[in-house]
Amino acid sequence: MTRILATGTFDILHPGHLYYLEQARKYGNELYVLVARDSTIEHKPKPIVPEKQRLEMVKALRVVDHALLGSEEDMFKPLKEVQPDIIVLGHDQVFDEKELEDKLQKRGFNTKVVRLGKPHQCTLCSSGRIIKRILERKRTEL
Amino acid sequence: MTRILATGTFDILHPGHLYYLEQARKYGNELYVLVARDSTIEHKPKPIVPEKQRLEMVKALRVVDHALLGSEEDMFKPLKEVQPDIIVLGHDQVFDEKELEDKLQKRGFNTKVVRLGKPHQCTLCSSGRIIKRILERKRTEL
């Protein structure tokens, strides 16, 4: 049994999320997803959808075996519970694989970190692009 | 085997959709979902997300066994393929149960139509409310 962990905000679900989770799941046979807390998202605009709802939607996806919210204090805390064999990063996630793997090792985790390549192109495969389309439509309606 | 059909636009997925589909599935043991075509949505604003992407996201939900796009010409056409035992309508869907059941009978379908009660309240359980929140946030940022 190889346990995979994927992470993200999953603000407005789109096929880019599905692609990431489906590719991640291929590295093992049990997929855990760590959903970022509202309070810890600082490198991009705050999500539109609150964390509990984002978690509920991720849990509803067939490809996901288990989903849980991250920790507000220590990003490594939920990993103690999950004990993943492999963490799969999306192509645009901010962590550096090697650095993360080293940090994990220092904390006693025997976890590999891999990064996915770029997904296939898709017009609305980003929460940001969906938001942009909503704002553009509003502008043309005014 | 009781085959259930649920229908809708499913523009930006939210827990209201999950509630509808989960409740619908309880009426039988195989859930088909008919996703409305962009061109046939006229009683409310056109969806933000194109039909193919809306279909892809509905298919990714664990509760859904099969999903397909509606017909652009005749709403009864896909029903020939699905042959549902029961059509479950959401609390706010525009059809009248009795009228729909009569129309189905006239076309040779032996399909019952039931309507769900109101779902539990949830702040962002509507694509419209998610869009509204996006627009409100944009306004406060300007």
Please tell me whether B17 is known to bind a ligand.
yes
Q: Which residues contact A55 (CB under 8 A, 6 or more apart)?
A: A35, A67, A68, A69
Q: Quote the pLDDT of residue A82.
A: 97
ipTM: 0.92
* Binding-site residue set of A for ATP: 9-10, 14-17, 92
Which of B136, B140, B48 lies closest to A137 in space, CA to CA? B48
Q: Quote the pLDDT of residue A118.
A: 84
Please name the residue of chain A whose CA is at the shortest distance from the CA of residue B54: A14
- Neighbouring-strand partners of residue B61: A61
- Neighbouring-strand partners of residue A6: A33, A88
Please tell me whether B9 is known to bind a ligand.
yes
pLDDT in tens, A5-60: 999 999 999 999 999 999 999 999 999 999 999 999 888 888 999 999 999 999 99
Q: Do A130 and B49 touch (CB under 8 A)?
A: yes
pLDDT in tens, A50-88: 999 999 999 999 999 999 999 999 999 999 999 999 999
What the block records as the tokens of A11 is 């603000």
Q: Domains of chain B by range and CATH?
A: 3-141 (3.40.50.620)
Within chain A, how many helices (H) and strands (E) appear? 5, 5
